Structure 1
Amino acid sequence: MEQAIAYFTVFGGTDVVLDMNLPLTTLIETHILNQYKFLRNDISKLTDGDALLHSILSACALSDRRTNAAFKRANVSFNEGIDCVDELCDMKLLTLETTVRLHPNQFDDENVSEKVLFVSPFLRFWFAFISPLFKGIKEGDYSEFYERFKNREQEFSDLIFEQLCHAYIKNCFTQESIKKTKRYWDDEYELDLYAKTQSGRIVIGSCKYRDSKVSKKELTRLHEVCEDLDFTPDITVLFAKKGFSSELKSLKGEHLKLFTTKSLKALLS
């Protein structure tokens, strides 16, 4: 499943038939780098070749998804940036996500930046790793790409893992039906997953795509965040790439659910 996540992070949204026996970098070179000129033309058709839109897309792909951070990276004003994002949403290339309100009057006196989601994982990959490095790639020099991809591949997969965890909770959570999952963020705190069951129970979650086991510290941290935000979750769900510590596993029960990448295989059935 880890391999599937890594490959989907790059090729999700395309119709490329992949040989899963080949390394990801080999597939990237064969299907993307070596096909740069053709793919560039296809993508330019989507955006009318607009350089400003490409700059905004790269900024969104490389930032923490908050619009304010992306516009700062792209060196544009908020008004100019949000006009571009609205246009890209109309083009069905991006969607905008807002933080969940935990209390009725929350955020009335402050602005919390929206976050951007790419509709296609492949387009996110393209504007993070290909478009900004087009000069070398166009000339057949892939060294800068490989260096950047090596340094950011793990981090870049985090969002895809988180999105799959949301899909799992919506479609495969057997304890109670959940219609919609959201995320919470403000200037100080973040929750990877926030949802309510049909009976009104609050579910929060953490999604850690790291090469180490998740310990009880993560559970404690989550509950401290909830305490600071003045609410109490009924169910906590933790997702982890490499599993959990023995201490944390001993706490599993009605109010704590633990899932790994293997759990996500249920999405394929």
Structure 2
Amino acid sequence: METAVEYFSIFGGLDVDIDTSKSVEELIETHILKRYKYLRNFIADITKADPEYSKILTALAIGDRRTNSAFRKVGISFDNGIEIVDDLCGLKVLKLEKSLQKLSKLSDQYTVSERLLFTSPVVRFWFAFVSPLFKGIKEKNYEEFYKKYNNHKTEFSDIIFEQLSHEYLKVISKDDFMFTLGRYWDDDINLDLVGKTKSGKIVAGSCKFTNSKIKKTELTNLKEKCKQVKIDVDTFILFSKKGYTSELKTLKKTENLQLFTVKNFSLFLEE
């Protein structure tokens, strides 16, 4: 399942068969880099061959995903930028996401910038690593591509892992389904997962796609963040790629804590 998540974060939305016995680098070359000219035409239809569309998508592909940050990064006014974003949302390339500030007792203090999600992982991958380096890739020189990809690949799957964690909760919470579920952020604090069930219970969580076991400090930090933003949590939820330390697992007996790993996502294959 670790491999499946990593490969889905790159090839999701691409209509090809992926052989997971092959390395991700080999698959990227076969299905994306060597098909650059074909895929470029497909992408041009999405962006209407407008360079400002491409600039905004590139700014969003790696970064904090906030509209204001992306517009500033590429030097586009808010009015022009939001018009492009609205069009891309209409084309179902992007999806707007709002911070779930309403779950905080500080919700009336201020409103933060919206964030944007790519609806297709492969389109996000394209604008993160391919589009900005098209000159070399077009000439089949992949050195610069691999340098950038290797610098960012560790965190690139994080957002996909978070989204899959959200979807997993929706599937398993059938009796007391998630009435609302998303993320919280403000100018200082980010929460990977917050939600409210049909019965009114508040959940908050952390999702870590890292190569080490999650320690008790992750739960401590999550609790402190929720305290700072005044979210009264009934159940804390952690999702991990590599599992948890023994110390953290023992806390399940005494606290309202749920622990999941990437292996739980095999449920999606059953569904």
Equivalent residue, structure 2, for 1:21: 21
Aligned partner of 1:172: which letter?
Answer: I
Aligned partner of 2:258: which letter?
Answer: K
Equivalent residue, structure 1, for 2:74: 74
Equivalent residue, structure 1, for 2:113: 113
Q: Which 5+ residue runs of structure 2 have no aligned equivalent?
A: none
Measure how far apart 1:217 and its partner are: 0.8
Q: State the secondary structure of the residue aligned to 2:102.
A: coil
Report 1:225-244 matches (<5 A): 225-244=225-244
1:192 paired to 2:159: no
Measure how far apart 1:105 and its partner are: 7.9
Equivalent residue, structure 1, for 2:267: 266
**CA displacement, residues 127-184 of structure 1 (integer Å, 9 cap, x when unaligned):** 0000000000001101111111111111110000000000011112477322431110
Distance (Å, rounded) in 2 between the aligned partners of 1:36 and 1:180: 40
Aligned partner of 1:255: which letter?
Answer: N
Aligned partner of 1:42: which letter?
Answer: F
Equivalent residue, structure 1, for 2:216: 216
Equivalent residue, structure 2, for 1:158: 158
Aligned partner of 1:215: which letter?
Answer: K
Measure how far apart 1:106 and its partner are: 4.6
Normalised TM-score (structure 2): 0.95
Distance (Å, rounded) in 2 between the aligned partners of 1:95 and 1:174: 25
Measure how far apart 1:17 and its partner are: 0.7
Change (3 A) 1:151 1:137: same
Report 1:122-161 matches (<5 A): 122-161=122-161
- In 2, are the aligned partners of 1:172 and 1:267 still within 8 Å (CA)? no
Identity %: 50
**CA displacement, residues 15-58 of structure 1 (integer Å, 9 cap, x when unaligned):** 11111111111011011100100110111022211111011110
Q: Which 5+ residue runs of structure 1 have no aligned equivalent?
A: none
Change (3 A) 1:6 1:242: same
Measure how far apart 1:268 and its partner are: 1.5
Distance (Å, rounded) in 1 between the aligned partners of 2:171 and 2:178: 8
1:89 paired to 2:89: yes
Measure how far apart 1:190 and its partner are: 1.1
Measure how far apart 1:80 and its partner are: 1.8
Q: State the secondary structure of the residue aligned to 2:157.
A: helix
Normalised TM-score (structure 1): 0.95
Distance (Å, rounded) in 1 between the aligned partners of 2:263 and 2:233: 25
- In 2, are the aligned partners of 1:207 and 1:238 still within 8 Å (CA)? yes
Change (3 A) 1:32 1:186: same
- In 1, are the aligned partners of 2:97 and 2:117 still within 8 Å (CA)? yes
Q: Which one is further off, 117-126 or 209-218? A: 209-218
1:61 paired to 2:61: yes
Equivalent residue, structure 1, for 2:257: 256
Distance (Å, rounded) in 2 between the aligned partners of 1:3 and 1:189: 30
Change (3 A) 1:248 1:175: farther
Q: State the secondary structure of the residue aligned to 2:251.
A: coil
Distance (Å, rounded) in 2 between the aligned partners of 1:18 and 1:258: 30
Structure 1 residue ranges (4+ consecutive) displaced by more than 4 angstroms after TM superposition:
103-109
Measure how far apart 1:108 and its partner are: 4.5
- In 2, are the aligned partners of 1:170 and 1:179 still within 8 Å (CA)? no
Equivalent residue, structure 2, for 1:48: 48
Change (3 A) 1:189 1:104: closer
Distance (Å, rounded) in 2 between the aligned partners of 1:188 and 1:266: 35
Cα RMSD between the aligned structures? 1.6
Q: How many corresponding residue pairs? A: 269
- In 2, are the aligned partners of 1:172 and 1:266 still within 8 Å (CA)? no
Distance (Å, rounded) in 1 between the aligned partners of 2:175 and 2:237: 11
